[in-house]
Amino acid sequence: MNARPSAAALPLVRLGQGDFVREIWPHDLDSTHHKEAPMSTLIQQVQKGRRPKPRRVLLYGTQGIGKSTFGAMAESPIFVPTEDGLGDIDCESFPLAQSLGQVMASLEALYTSEHPYKTVVIDSLDWLERLIWAEVCSDRSVESIEDVGYAKGYTYAIDKWRQVLGALDALRSDRGMGVILIAHATIEKFDNPETEPYDRYSPRLPTLARALVQEWCDEVLFATYRVHTRKVDEGFNKAKHQGIGTGERIIRTVERPAHVAKNRIGLPAEFPLDYRVFAALVRGEDPFAAAPSTPSTPTPQAAEAAGSEAQAPEGD
């Protein structure tokens, strides 16, 4: 049996840092030193191939475009409402949350209880943010989050956001539930280091919270209306561009200068605002493929009319 080198000796290499340092000594590389290999090693735990899991989706857009309806079309959805806007939508939901504690209690109930739900929908994130701020103010005994010194109120709020996302991760990993987060849109000025600053749509959340949620989600989808522009001549060699809306509601999945978006599974750049289309694309199906047509049997009247038409003499 090899004795451990003296304290004066140096290891071959030190891996990690802080409390997670491991020293590698020559005898660690000597296969004869180990009588038997461990039953389970990290190498044996390496996984290969795709391992699909329920999606974590952030859908944001302008008011009234159909974001909540999108969530209600998901598979067996249950809403955790933080704003009062589900009255006209046929869906199942918890009571309107008046505090962050009530939101967390709803998520805990979904984790610990038996239920038929397969998708949890939080509607909406910007109203959830207000509940988070209220709890930070209560914890710090202040009236406003701005009253927390050195703008640390927003940092404390991020800790609350991590608690919410952690609970949603548990529902996804342990209960197999999909997650849909709904948010309103705002127009922000984006300082692109490669161009002049420009305006773009983004979820209506503070910068730190928005960055955290967008990174956590698998898809960030922007719901909007399709708009075309046309050039209008105003005379005197002057013209202006006029926006024309068709009323068509679409989802955009790829970031462009006009909006924030992302997806991790190669979705089309845009498609109709319809959860059924999104679900089909996630499954790798083509939701726009035409169903195979089957020849129909003509009615006796149609057959007789066709025969008469075939026998009719040609005109001049």
pLDDT of residue 288: 85
pLDDT of residue 306: 45
pLDDT of residue 241: 60
Distance CA 301, CA 269 (A): 48
pLDDT of residue 10: 75
**Encoded tokens for 149:** 């010194």
pLDDT of residue 4: 53
pLDDT of residue 304: 47
pLDDT band at 51; cut points 50, 70, 90: confident
pLDDT of residue 302: 47
Residue 48 has pLDDT above 70, yes or no: yes
Higher-pLDDT residue of 245, 58: 58
pLDDT of residue 188: 94
pLDDT of residue 270: 95
Domain boundaries, the chain: 56-282
Residue 275 has pLDDT above 60, yes or no: yes
Mean pLDDT of 190-211: 94
Closest CA to 171 of 264, 103, 125: 103
Long-range contacts of 162-166 (CB under 8 A, 24+ apart): 162/212, 163/104, 164/100, 164/103, 164/104, 164/107, 164/128, 164/132, 165/212, 165/213, 165/216
Pairing of strands 238-252, 270-272: antiparallel
pLDDT of residue 45: 80
Mean pLDDT of 183-189: 96
What CATH number should be reported for the domain whose range is 56-282?
3.40.50
Mean pLDDT of 39-66: 86
Task: Name the CA radius of gyration of the chain, rounded.
Answer: 29
Mean pLDDT of 9-30: 69
Mean predicted lDDT score pLDDT of the chain: 84
pLDDT of residue 6: 55
Tell me which of 4-8, 40-44, 172-176, 305-309 is least confident: 305-309
pLDDT band at 246; cut points 50, 70, 90: confident
pLDDT band at 204; cut points 50, 70, 90: very high
Tell me which of 21-25, 288-292, 308-312 is least confident: 308-312
DSSP secondary structure, the chain, as one string: -PPPPPTTS--SEEES-GGG-EEE-GGGG-GGG-SS--SS-TGGG---S------EEEEEESTTSSHHHHHHTSSSEEEEESSS--TTS---BPPPP-SHHHHHHHHHHHHHS-----EEEEE-HHHHHHHHHHHHHHHHT-SSGGGSGGGHHHHHHHHHHHHHHHHHHHHHHHH--EEEEEEEEEEEEE--TTS--EEEEEESS-HHHHHHHHHH-SEEEEEEEEEEEEEEEEETTEEEEEEEEEEEEEEE-S-BTTB--B-SS---SEEES-HHHHHHHHTT--TTPPPPP-PPPPPHHHHHHHHHHHHSPP--
Higher-pLDDT residue of 301, 106: 106
Residue 268 has pLDDT above 60, yes or no: yes
Mean pLDDT of 142-155: 87
DSSP secondary structure, 226-291, as one string: EEEEEEEEEETTEEEEEEEEEEEEEEE-S-BTTB--B-SS---SEEES-HHHHHHHHTT--TTPPP
pLDDT of residue 231: 66
